[in-house]
Amino acid sequence: MKKVNIYVTLRESVLDPQGSAVMGSLHKMGYAEVKDVRIGKYLELVISDEVQDIDAHVNEMCQKLLTNTVIEDYRFEIEEAVSQ
Amino acid sequence: MKKVNIYVTLRESVLDPQGSAVMGSLHKMGYAEVKDVRIGKYLELVISDEVQDIDAHVNEMCQKLLTNTVIEDYRFEIEEAVSQ
């Protein structure tokens, strides 16, 4: 088994109202040192070893289902040998 | 400026219906090799250098606002010297 960690973030040019709301709350709580907050998604996939080209498969899954490539960027890393 | 990346995941013992739904969709799309999907949050904070104990501050923010420690775990990493 391999574990794949996928990080999905909004593109730089896209406004992040959820992040702005969280930053506003942090400021109200006294954390004035926080200058920016962006919120994204973090996905952990466990994938069986039988797949040959895991990189290509993960890219396909990201582009077809897991992310919206118009407004989101993604990157992922593959960890070896997860026991499940 | 420092960039802080925070990864929030559901605790192992907590069911993840969103992850299950995504896994179901991936299976329908033919990706039978996917054995598990867990979905979490990924936050990027930019924090000013004037703060002394950034670790303690980030822990406080996570526990008070950013995560629900009853059902979620978090970890974070601090990157130095982000120009903003």
- As a 3-state breakdown, chain A gives helix, strand, coil percent values, each rounded to 5, of 30, 35, 35
A residues 47-76 near B, CB within 8 Å? 47-48, 50-51, 57, 61, 64-66
pLDDT at A84: 52
Task: Please say if the pLDDT value at position A2 is more than 80.
Answer: yes
Task: Please say if the pLDDT value at position A12 is more than 60.
Answer: yes
How far is it, in rounded angstroms, from Cα A3 to Cα B36? 9
Nearest chain B CA: its distance from A40 CA (Å): 5
Classify domain A2-79 by CATH number: 3.30.1280.10
Per-residue pLDDT band for B80 (boundaries 50, 70, 90) equals confident
How far is it, in rounded angstroms, from Cα B15 to Cα B39? 11
Q: Which residues contact B39 (CB under 8 A, 6 or more apart)?
A: A41, A42, A43, A44, B10, B16, B18, B19, B22
Nearest chain A CA: its distance from B37 CA (Å): 5
Task: Please say if the pLDDT value at position A82 is more than 70.
Answer: no
The pLDDT of A28-54, averaged and rounded, is 95
For B1-53, how does the pLDDT look when each residue is reduced to its tens digit (9 = 90+)? 999 999 999 999 999 999 999 999 999 999 999 999 999 999 999 999 888 89
Domain borders along chain A are 2-79
